[in-house]
Structure 1
């Protein structure tokens, strides 16, 4: 099988832990691994190839995390690029929901290929049961069915859609219910949570899409045929992508098709769609507080506390969610964390806190904002070995670079020179420049930007190894 891995997301449901440029699938929540990494490892058991659908910004995050998996596997295998070599990326310039994403992926495959479509931000704890369910789904897919996975409900959940089933036959799909309806579904015994995981032949899905959502089919086909294919990368053109109607696979195909089957599953599934859901999965102390070395609890119980930048202490606090990311703090009653989306809508009005963390990941490394004040900004920049920033210039700021470790290769205008630890250099406003690491260890430097405007959009790229213009 081929695993189509869906890597979209706006980072709103677990804000401020997740952001648009760091959605929840890339946050390392369990055993120092992200949900994306766990998805790749889990599906590797039965999928020989991976087709990862992502936007351009998140591509580099995904690639870095795949390389981390390869580095870990190197300890037990001689193949240094085990996961990387079996992965292809399909890059969308803008998201159009799951139906177009899956269609674009299927156009790139053989029509007889069986695909497993899996979100990259779900937690599945029972791998043995999961593998057994996949074998059942694959068999049905080989017979020409569109297969969806229904999760046995553990309680009356109002945040999920439901599948009404009779054995493997789907009777109906149902929207997210209210509390009383969810209780009826739970009591009935033949209603299952809609997991958003699917299995089918690429050609069968495309035929059903053509039948029930012909405009998505035609526009996606044209977009794929006009795409640019590089080594292990398929890039969809923005002007083609924007013409594709936006819709989910459920609305576009599954709720209309007559060849849908459901496989009932109970493999410890959780979509981690809220902090309340996350709390249930995290390890806890004897008082029901999530474990955290930076958390001091005095007579406090049943709290989710996340902090990685400073100490947090609570006294006589119960059933509370506290998330501190350095640039934002969320405090919520347990049971109310779904409302975080309303917070994000307010934040979008006047800040970028919905978009990016203090530490931002780039294809060449990372930068961390240490201070941001009108007139100047101070950053810590880390450039990975063999990587370089774009050749660029700024209209509104000058930059001072002080190297802390490693040796930086600096280009300013026609000059190219080395800057070593405890040495510095200065780039005037408007000068064309580039920072490069030609060494074997990370280059770490402190950058002081001085100017009337220090926003990230004051970058004019002249050349870029990563095709960001």
Structure 2
């Protein structure tokens, strides 16, 4: 058996925690020691070996995927990270993984989103294993038994029994509250976005119900495939049309963490229904969510049903049950080219990370963290010079043809136009304060000459 993890989504409804270049699946949320992606990866390991796991994502997330797996202590085959040139929704993403698996022969496959929180994983794994026999004839979807009417999920209506599952009667889009209540009373299930099938059965159904995707993936060039493929979900493209779909019910605690409203189900609240993490003070206030930085104290007085999410560079305040509209805020910020949609103050790279500490018109100050044994690309900048002050560890510095070491408390200077590289040859993290000076300080002023991570143009 093989598994596919879909890890290309942006999670816009969880902005400002989730951003384009570091979305929700890679976040370690409050009181979590692993990211949601890491939990998904380890869940797959309960079903199969690591070399049988395929991860479909995009180029921006490739090294986040690899570094987070490495952090768990696993060595992962980089060839099993499948890069979509452009996101085209779930059907092309899943079929991309299926086609790669079929190069080794037909097999049974389980498909998981990378952003699901699942509390009772052992129950899920046992249900998946029991349901494997149905894959000889059916595409399997997994439906979660609702514990409340939810307007943020799609629904599945089961019909005739099929062993451990049921034939699917119909799929329903996200309903209003009254309709969701009716669905719940009539035995409908939440659509979890998890699937299981045989690769040959799935391919037959793609060929019959979505010829555009089927024909496109017969092309040889990956870029041409995704350029011509329609943007279409697996539900709309296949599951809603096929007569070979079964649903297996899951009676587990599950969430796709699709909005901040879902936090009320994931985190414990106080006697007044408030969720807080940092010893914040709430007086005469009920049913509020406070998600703030550890170095900040917040007080709320006389307010109810508020969601307050405070990052160093952004602040979100909205009414409970309105957090689905955060996506509209993201769309407006994108239209004004606001970079806070894309980047946190801390940006992760294959070699480590950098945090913007302060910036002005002609300067920017960063804290750069380089992991042991890693190095930045050999590069140059046309429009800025850089001062490096080592505050922890020892840096190996290359400027043009000269190599030397800079130790804690020492500094060095890189002129604009000079080829340079920063490297951590040691066993502890290297931390450097970088002061950039120049008339243009954006990240696209980088000319990479050599790079360990294949990022040279």
Structure 1 residues 405-432: Cα deviation after superposition (integer angstroms, max 9, x where no partner): 1111111112121111111111111111
Q: How does 1:116-131 map to 2 (within 5 A)?
A: 116-131=110-125
Larger CA deviation: 116-125 vs 144-153: 144-153
Equivalent-residue separation in structure 1 for 2:89 and 2:396 (angstroms): 42
SS of match in other structure, 2:55: strand
Cα pair distance change 1:424/1:86, threshold 3 Å: closer
Structure 1 residues 63-94: Cα deviation after superposition (integer angstroms, max 9, x where no partner): 22212222xxxxxxxxxx3x636992112222
Q: In structure 1, what is the equivalent of residue 36 of structure 2?
A: 35
Residue 291 of structure 1: how far off its partner (Å): 3.8
Q: 2:392 aligns with which of 393, 397, 405?
A: 405
Q: In structure 1, what is the equivalent of residue 21 of structure 2?
A: 21
SS of match in other structure, 2:48: coil
Cα pair distance change 1:385/1:221, threshold 3 Å: farther
Contact 1:169 1:260 in 2 (8 A): yes
The number of residue pairs the alignment matches comes to 444
Q: In structure 1, what is the equivalent of residue 82 of structure 2?
A: 90
TM-score, normalised with respect to structure 2: 0.93
Contact 2:145 2:252 in 1 (8 A): no
Q: In structure 1, what is the equivalent of residue 70 of structure 2?
A: 67
Equivalent-residue separation in structure 2 for 1:51 and 1:451 (angstroms): 43
Contact 1:151 1:194 in 2 (8 A): yes
Moved over 6 A (4+): none
Contact 1:50 1:86 in 2 (8 A): no
Q: 1:184 aligns with which of 182, 185, 191?
A: 182
TM-score, normalised with respect to structure 1: 0.90
Q: In structure 2, what is the equivalent of residue 336 of structure 1?
A: 322
Equivalent-residue separation in structure 1 for 2:180 and 2:278 (angstroms): 38
Q: How does 1:46-65 map to 2 (within 5 A)?
A: 46-48=47-49, 49-65=52-68
SS of match in other structure, 1:129: helix
Q: In structure 1, what is the equivalent of residue 309 of structure 2?
A: 323
Contact 1:26 1:36 in 2 (8 A): yes
Contact 1:297 1:313 in 2 (8 A): yes
Cα pair distance change 1:108/1:50, threshold 3 Å: same
Structure 1 residues 362-417: Cα deviation after superposition (integer angstroms, max 9, x where no partner): 00000000012111110000011111111111122111111111111111112121
Q: In structure 1, what is the equivalent of residue 263 of structure 2?
A: 278
Contact 1:50 1:87 in 2 (8 A): no
SS of match in other structure, 2:398: strand
Residue 239 of structure 1: how far off its partner (Å): 4.4
Q: 2:251 aligns with which of 263, 266, 280?
A: 266
Larger CA deviation: 264-273 vs 355-364: 264-273
Q: In structure 2, what is the equivalent of residue 369 of structure 1?
A: 356
SS of match in other structure, 1:278: helix
Q: In structure 2, what is the equivalent of residue 75 of structure 1?
A: none
Structure 1 residues 336-361: Cα deviation after superposition (integer angstroms, max 9, x where no partner): 11111111112111310110100010
Equivalent-residue separation in structure 2 for 1:183 and 1:285 (angstroms): 27
How well do the aligned residues superpose, as a CA RMSD in angstroms? 1.8
Structure 1 residues 277-300: Cα deviation after superposition (integer angstroms, max 9, x where no partner): 122211333433224125233343
Q: How does 1:355-434 map to 2 (within 5 A)?
A: 355-434=342-421
Residue 258 of structure 1: how far off its partner (Å): 1.6
